[in-house]
Amino acid sequence: MKPPHILLIVGGGIAAYKACELIRLIRKAGMSVRCVLTDGGAQFITPMTLAALSENEVFTTLWDLKNETEMGHIQLSREADLIVVCPATADLLAKMAAGISDSLATTVLLATDTPVLAVPAMNVRMWQHAATQRNVARLRADGVTVVDPDDGAMACGEYGPGRLPEPVAIMQRVEAALHRVSAAPAERGPLAGRRVLVTAGPTHEPIDPVRYIANRSSGRQGFAIAEAAAAMGADVQLVAGPVHLPTPSGVTRIDVETAREMAMAVDAALPADIAIMVAAVADWRTAGAAEQKIKKTGGALPVLELAENPDILAELAKDPRRPALLVGFAAETENVLDHAQAKLARKGCDWIVANDVSGDVMGGSDNAVHIVTADGVESWSNLPKDQVARKLMEKIADAVVR
């Protein structure tokens, strides 16, 4: 069997030096690798270094007649089993999301039908900027696997998310991506080829820079459902509110904070075959969050004016791109089935998964649920959340694969 071939695009940034160790790991794993070095990347490492490590010619420009004759950019974009962009700078991510092709690297990325794995590295504020997060959401919706950067100290002296993961961790993601590409249909599960959208966790609606409106959702049930869907072979997009949970294997994660950000991320993740809206989205937000911390003033209580958040589930039900199966969740503290049946009719979804959260369900490890459909109610006794997830995904697979 021919060994996998990787095309490594090295972006600009001090983290480019880690690409050298990544090449060594790729070669050690028995794979071949070619490199495209951007102008920015060439400020930190040389073509000679990459050529020596990869034992292949390094490509740097779109305007080399000899290279275009012997190895055109179209062939370069198609011969690989996986394209890895490492480090993926904010500039590269923006151009990828916008479909700009003004260099060899961006032209290769636009011309390819090969799976792409992007490994970002940049300043923490650049990573957290709304523009970068929109670009990442767009790329993930387009099928690009974007790895979340690590937290840590950076060359600029700041600390936070934006640090390039260590080469060993990147290599693990490369191997996982290649496994997904090469998996035989029988290994890929009943949802192979299906696109599944899952939302999970709470949303945080800011009151001022230090306070927010939230709920007790831990995100565990939604993350377990995303993991179970991926295990069945689905292409899973997980839109996650602010929770501290590891990203499930084989899942593309989009992090958001507010309900409006979640609504935009859901819209960007469409189309999908199946949507499972597990997130406990805040119904209201403050009409205008204070720019500075609200202070006590002589005992007078602050007045918070509230505005209604978008109804993500109801809007998705009316969207022309509506998934074929739309599943909502209902967290109730009383009259669980009555409220769930009313929600099913009001929201326009296909199923409602209802549970009683009057205890510690939202932060706990177990769940007891009722599956409410137009045909009736199916109740499941208390189970660990991962078992609920597997059982629900088996029911979904039975409904859509027949």
- Residue positions in the annotated binding site? 283, 293, 310-313, 329, 343, 347
Residue 20 among the catalytic residues: no
Q: What is the pTM of this model?
A: 0.59
Neighbours of 261 (CB within 10 A): 20
Same domain as 126, residue 47: yes
The predicted pLDDT at position 154 comes to 74
Same domain as 308, residue 198: yes
Same domain as 263, residue 171: no
Same domain as 129, residue 112: yes
Q: Mean pLDDT across the chain, nearest whole number? A: 89
CA 283 to CA 367: how far, in whole Å? 23
Query: Exposed, middle or buried, 384 (CB in 10 Å: 0-12/13-18/19+)?
Result: middle
Same domain as 300, residue 159: no
Residue 100 scores a pLDDT above 80: yes
Strand positions, DSSP E, 315-350: 325-332
- State pLDDT tens for residues 218-263: 999 999 999 999 989 899 999 999 998 888 878 889 999 999 999 9
Q: In which domain, by residue range, is 177 found?
A: 5-182
Residue of 35, 86, 156, 349 marked active site: 156
Same domain as 178, residue 257: no
Structure tokens at 10: 């090295």
The predicted pLDDT at position 68 comes to 58
The predicted pLDDT at position 186 comes to 44
- Residue positions in the annotated binding site for CTP? 283, 293, 310-313, 329, 343, 347
Neighbours of 76 (CB within 10 A): 21
Same domain as 40, residue 101: yes
Q: Residue 226's domain is classified under what CATH number?
A: 3.40.50.10300
Residue at which a domain ends, from 157, 182, 207: 182
Residue 166 scores a pLDDT above 50: yes
CA 48 to CA 279: how far, in whole Å? 50
CA 292 to CA 207: how far, in whole Å? 10
* Total number of domains in the chain: 2
Helix (H) or strand (E) holding 87: strand 82-88
Q: Residue 55's domain is classified under what CATH number?
A: 3.40.50.1950
Neighbours of 117 (CB within 10 A): 21
Task: Using pLDDT thresholds of 50, 70 and 90, give the confidence band for residue 361.
Answer: low
- State pLDDT tens for residues 108-120: 999 998 999 999 9
